[in-house]
Amino acid sequence: MNETIDLIRRYYDAFNRGDWASMLALLDEHVAHDINQGGRETGRDRFAAFLERMNMSYSEQLKNIVVMANETGTRAAAEYVVHGVYKATDEGLPLAQGQSYVLPGGAFFEVAQGHITRISNYYNLEDWLAQVRRVEVD
């Protein structure tokens, strides 16, 4: 259990540093990635492409991270608060104009042999949309 909690903490530490290579090294080669309100992608290479695409449109830091794991360390969950900037328009989403946003998020993990084998990310898309659609009036 403690090894899994440490693994997930290292994953988020690497995320917050923008250290994609270290993040990817913690993933199983055939990792399953469930995208928030989207489909499932499989494989470390697909996850790397996802990170690259996200990095183009978003600058995010995760704060107040809490990690929990089951007794055997095969399953884990994390809750956090996303502090982000929408820096470039993502396909099918509103125009990016440097809007900032703050919203709660979470993820579920499966772990085997010291690697993350599944990541399922969740956040409230409607909350995010409302924040990036707002217009500040001087």
CATH node for 2-133: 3.10.450.50
AA identity, residue 67: V
What pLDDT is recorded for position 30?
98
Please report, rounded to a whole number, the percentage of residues in the chain having pLDDT higher than 70: 97
Residue 73 backbone phi and psi in degrees, to 5: 75, 15
Looking at per-residue pLDDT, the higher value among 82 and 38 belongs to 82
pLDDT tier at 135, thresholds 50, 70, 90: low
Strands (E), the chain: 27-34, 40-42, 58-69, 75-86, 99-112, 115-123
* CA-based torsion, 96, 100, 106, 111: positive or negative: positive
- The predicted pLDDT at position 138 comes to 41
Q: Average per-residue pLDDT in the chain?
A: 94
To the question of pTM greater than 0.85 for the whole model, the response is yes
Q: Which of 19, 24, 26, 23 is nearest to 3 (CA)?
A: 26
Question: Ramachandran region of residue 16, left (φ > 0), alpha (ψ -120 to 50) or beta?
Answer: alpha
The residue type found at 55 is: N
> What is the band of 37 on the pLDDT scale with cuts at 50, 70, 90?
confident
Q: If you average pLDDT over residues 83-109, what whole number do you get? A: 94
CA–CA separation, 57 vs 77, rounded Å? 26
Contact present, 83 and 99 (Cβ < 8 Å): no
- What band does 38 get if pLDDT is binned at 50, 70 and 90? confident
Q: How far is CA 138 from CA 67, 95, 135, in A?
A: 41, 20, 10
CA torsion sign for 55, 118, 7, 21 is negative
Checking if the pLDDT of 137 tops 60, the result is no
